[in-house]
Amino acid sequence: MSQKGGNAVTGVVTEALPDTLFKVRLENGSEILTYLAGKMRMHRIRVLIGDKVTVEIDPYGGKGRITKRL
């Protein structure tokens, strides 16, 4: 599931924003802006506030991609 170069961490969704964007608080305490992975959009997997998720962090920027809902 993971692509090359992605750093996968877990976190909790704290805020839902328009256009499938979410704010996620990571295990280390930082909060980042994330978006849904394509397969999660394709299969219409719902992500709600308080859900525990797996996030792949982009090594070049601060954005992350939600790849799994736990």
- For 29, the domain range is 7-69
Distance (Å, whole) CA 35 – CA 62:
12
Supply the pTM of this predicted model.
0.86
Residue 15 lies in a domain: yes
Residue 34: what pLDDT? Answer: 96
Domain count, the chain: 1
Residue 1 lies in a domain: no
Residue 24 lies in a domain: yes
Per-residue pLDDT tens digits for 5-52? 578 999 999 999 999 899 999 999 999 999 999 999 999 999 999 999
Residue 60: what pLDDT? Answer: 84
Residue 19 lies in a domain: yes
**pLDDT-based confidence at residue 3 (cuts at 50, 70, 90):** low
Q: Is 56 exposed, middle or buried (0-12, 13-18, 19+ CB in 10 A)?
A: buried
CATH (domain of 38):
2.40.50.140
Residue 2 lies in a domain: no
Residue 47: what pLDDT? Answer: 95
